[in-house]
Amino acid sequence: MARINLLPWRNELRKKRQQEFNYMALGAVVAMCAVIGGVHWINEERITFQKQRNGYLEQKTIELDARIKAIKNLDEQRTNLLARMEIIQQLQSSRPEIVHVFDELVRTLPEGVYYQKVKQSGSLLTVNGVAQSNAFVSSLMRNLNQSEWLGGAKLKEIVADAANGSGNTELLRLANFRLEFKQKSLAADEENDDG
């Protein structure tokens, strides 16, 4: 006898396929959620790692800024020390010059001329004095210009003055003068010659 299946096999097949589709869709949703969660977790890890790197870089930047500030302070101190050393070297090299200047003041002084006041401002010297005549003042200027340590003599003022001679009744014509000249620095001259 022929067996006839009266069960609704098509409905069962449809249900079975629908159930498989639901499982597959659920599996796809779960897989998609897992992928999205994994991507989100990876991105969060990357962001956290980058924040740590940024924090490290900021810390090192702060340390480097402090070092740069310390280096700038050291540069300023170095510049100040070099300026001080240069001044000290100038003072050391110019220390014997004043002795030579006073020696030259005496050597260049002709007879008949007397200094009353000597004033120095930097390398400029101003001398007030008395001479027996204008010719003695000219002789003094020539001597100063020929000096190794002094030069550039300029007469600023000369005034004739009458004074009593020593014990005589005759009057001597004295010349009061003011003279300016410069102190030569041999160290600076040597540097100019080398240049």
More confident residue, 2 or 28: 28
pLDDT band at 96 (very low <50, low <70, confident <90, very high): confident
Cβ atoms of 125 and 102 closer than 8 Å: no
What integer pLDDT is reported at residue 135 of this predicted model? Answer: 85
Task: Give tens-digit pLDDT for 129-163.
Answer: 999 888 888 888 888 888 888 888 888 888 887 66
Residues 6+ apart with CB under 8 A from 150: 101, 104, 105, 108, 125, 144, 181, 182, 183, 184
Q: What average pLDDT does the segment 110-117 reach? A: 89
pLDDT band at 29 (very low <50, low <70, confident <90, very high): very high
More confident residue, 104 or 83: 83
What does pTM read for this prediction? 0.49
Tokens at residue 103, please? 């020696």
What integer pLDDT is reported at residue 5 of this predicted model? Answer: 63
Based on its alpha-carbon atoms, the radius of gyration of the chain, rounded to whole angstroms, reads 52
